[in-house]
Chains A and B, each alone.
Chain A
Amino acid sequence: MTSVPSTYSGVADVAAVLILLSEFAMLRAPLLRSQIRLYAFQSIVVTTLAIVIASTRDINELYLLALFSFGLKVVLVPSLVLRLLRKAELELGGGSALGVPNMILLAIGVSAIGFFSIGSLRVHSTVLPTTALSISAAVVLVAFLPIIFRSDVVSQAIGFFSLENGVSLASLVVAAKLPLVVEVAFLFDLLLAVVVFGLIMRLHHGRTGSLSTQELDRLKG
């Protein structure tokens, strides 16, 4: 007899599916602005999941984590990247080495690999939602696609940030009780990475006058 899923695992699964779907939506979003909005939406889902887990499992530290996560991923990162876009006066992302339909097909393929490879571990846990963990592996793999195929620094950076959302999802569903100091340090690290990404993107824009990665072909061999 299969047991009824708990609120916790139900919410975790729904959140995981929403994050994966927004990852797919990013693949077909030609406007950089829409990609950033989708990332912000993803981050809101991750934050909401943190709050739900905090209340259903009585982990008060997660409220603090949710607050940090909201400030950083929903407010700070999107506004920083949008500012860069305004300065660069750019709307559309660079070209893509693969068309949208092919990229979506590939994304379905890699998410299936991620989902079933974790599923094949046959981990049964009474407390942890293993389906959400499988979906988080799919999110991580799909996040690689814009980084590999898109040829502008913003899409690539957003790809990396959404990969981090996939890892955050995994962290929330299987390691929610990681000591708070570590969780906050992870976020602080993300903040550092965002600042460095932003600095190098600005440097790149300053030197090439564009956000495209097409010119990055000097170093070979």
Chain B
Amino acid sequence: MSSILLVLVAMPFVVAIACYFLPTRIAKVITIASGSIAFVLSLILLPSAASHSQIVVGSLLRVDALSMVFLVATTFLYGTTAIFASGYLSLSDNDTGKRYGRRFYAGLNLFCWSMTAAPLVNGLALLWIAVEITTVISALLVAIDDTDEATEASWKYVLIASLGLGIALFGTIIMYYAGTAVFGPSYELSFTTLLTGATNFPPDIVRLSFVLAVLGYGTKMGLAPVHTWLPDAHSEAPTPISALLSGALLAISFYAILRYFQIAIRSLGPTFPREVLLIFGLASLALASLYLLAQRDIKRLLAYSSVEHMGILAIGMSFAAPIAIFGVLLHVLAHAAAKGTAFFGAGSVVRKFATKDLHKIRGGVDLLPWSGPMFLAAILALSAMPPFGIFRSEFLIVSGGLKDPQDTAAVLLVILVTIAFFGLSWFGTQTMLSPRDSLQIQHPTGGPTLVKGEVSIYIVVSMAIGLAALVVLGVHPPAVLTRLLTHAAGELGSPS
């Protein structure tokens, strides 16, 4: 098992370096292979993590049930995005196209390497380093298209996310300080150590550290009011990167917050950490649901949907019932699959219509016979319609919330999610189902006539995999996955 961990950490890095030197057509193949292998390896690790055991390699790597959930989400998106990217990118054969291809595939693999490493590292300091590496790599990937908008988005992203991570680092130092009260001035910041001593940490210092961590990592997770980089970066990055940013990177930042949450509930009891997450969660959900009603850009629409879902995750963590925590972790997996699929669909639509303007996209289902309906299905999945995974996870979160004696938060959650549903499903159905004049409609930007047909079979395959995963999560999650989520939810609950 430990060798699998080492392969998971090393493989994407090696592949990234290889991609920089190899021709793009080979880079495509080895990226798909690396993504698929990473996902299969994480599935092999899954039963061990689900059966109450942790896998540790030296002092640096460690996997438990909680980190396993995020590892599966990340590697799933790594594999599907690799397939999608090979169909989405249309690179010219000249030097510019070759250079772009080399940089893109090296960057994509490096980005996935940093996101795979984040849930595998053992300790708050190493986790911060991994998340910081995700920022610097993804900032360059956001800017890779070298347009005015991409440069603007990239600058805002790198600056705001770095500031957030500066605050998170301060939170990490403060947590180390809290630990000195128990362990003395020199000790390892590993999770096992921290969780062992957390009950005796000075509560005021842990409180400060937790708030700093939520604010800092919350910046990268896209929690309001520190979410402002997110819509810009998601809309201007190349679509494969948008899918990874939204489905995996935000989740990794949430994972970092959960690690602080674990320590905080042991030191402070559950009330304070839950209240902090509830405030940020409600602010994010309220803001996103309103912004979803007034979007013009298809990728910004999906970006605000991410803010919405991150808000749901934070609110879900504020509920005491274990079923809600189970729902939150299932939501992480379902959101990764749904948002990945939706961005893949958006990529297909943008390539077909050559515009991101929602008001200029009509009749998508007719023009894109496969990816059109699947994009619509992904939008409905994001709106928590059955039979998809997000329906099940949100249902569990709300059920957990309603079990609280004070169920106002659960009621607010339902109201705000309903508003978000209107926004998403309105634009989804308008762009995909609205009739168009004839089969040969004009290119929205005045270019050649649009012809019915798919952009690439790879896009269709990647979307089909995403939707299949969503149906499995919604209809009948495998028993081993249920065990994993139950165990991980137990790790996040109050210690008895």
Contact check, B300 vs A160: say whether CB atoms are below 8 A apart.
Answer: no
User: Quick check: is A182 within 8 A (CB to CB) of the other chain?
Assistant: yes
Within 8 A of A (CB), among B273-316: 291, 294-297, 300
- A interface, by DSSP: helix, strand, loop or mixed? helix
Task: Write out the residue numbers on chain B whose beta carbons fall within 8 Å of the beta carbon of A160.
Answer: 159, 162-163, 166
Contact check, A167 vs B177: say whether CB atoms are below 8 A apart.
Answer: no
Say which one of B44-52, B94-102, B142-150 lies at the interface with A. B142-150
Task: Write out the residue numbers on chain A whose beta carbons fall within 8 Å of the beta carbon of B57.
Answer: none
Residues 170-188 of chain B, each 1 if its beta carbon lies under 8 Å from chain A, else 0 = 1001101100100001111
Within 8 A of B (CB), among A171-191: 171, 174-179, 182, 185-186, 189
User: Quick check: is B204 within 8 A (CB to CB) of the other chain?
Assistant: yes
Contact check, A218 vs B204: say whether CB atoms are below 8 A apart.
Answer: no
User: Quick check: is B158 within 8 A (CB to CB) of the other chain?
Assistant: yes
Task: Write out the residue numbers on chain A whose beta carbons fall within 8 Å of the beta carbon of B154.
Answer: 200, 203
**Interface range, A side:** 35 or more
Query: How far is it, in angstroms, between the C-alpha of A192 and the C-alpha of B186 when the chains are bound?
Result: 27
Query: How far is it, in angstroms, between the C-alpha of A208 and the C-alpha of B167 when the chains are bound?
Result: 30
Contact check, B139 vs A200: say whether CB atoms are below 8 A apart.
Answer: yes
The number of residues on chain B lying at the interface, defined by a beta carbon within 8 Å of a beta carbon of chain A, is 52
Task: Write out the residue numbers on chain A whose beta carbons fall within 8 Å of the beta carbon of B162.
Answer: 160, 193, 197
> How many residue pairs between the two chains, A and B, have CB atoms under 8 Å in the bound complex?
133
Task: Write out the residue numbers on chain A whose beta carbons fall within 8 Å of the beta carbon of B135.
Answer: 193
- B interface, by DSSP: helix, strand, loop or mixed? helix
Given A167-B169, A174-B177, A177-B186, also A219-B132 (CB < 8 A): no
Contact check, A140 vs B235: say whether CB atoms are below 8 A apart.
Answer: no
User: Quick check: is A204 within 8 A (CB to CB) of the other chain?
Assistant: yes
Closest residue of B by beta carbon distance from A118:
B208
Query: How far is it, in angstroms, between the C-alpha of A176 and the C-alpha of B188 when the chains are bound?
Result: 12
In the complex, which of the residues A133, A153, A182, A193 contacts B155, with contact meaning CB atoms closer than 8 Å? A153
Interface-central residue, B125, B139, B156, B291, by most chain A CB under 10 Å: B125
Task: Write out the residue numbers on chain B whose beta carbons fall within 8 Å of the beta carbon of A164.
Answer: 166, 169
Which residues of A pack against B, CB within 8 Å?
117-118, 121-123, 125, 127-128, 133, 137, 140, 144, 147, 153, 156-157, 160, 163-164, 166-167, 170-171, 174-179, 182, 185-186, 189, 192-193, 195-197, 199-201, 203-204, 207-208, 213, 216, 218-219, 221
> Assuming A157-B159, A174-B177, what are 17 further A-B pairs, CB within 8 angstroms?
A121-B202, A121-B205, A123-B205, A128-B185, A147-B159, A174-B173, A175-B173, A182-B126, A189-B132, A189-B136, A193-B135, A195-B136, A196-B140, A200-B154, A207-B148, A216-B156, A221-B291
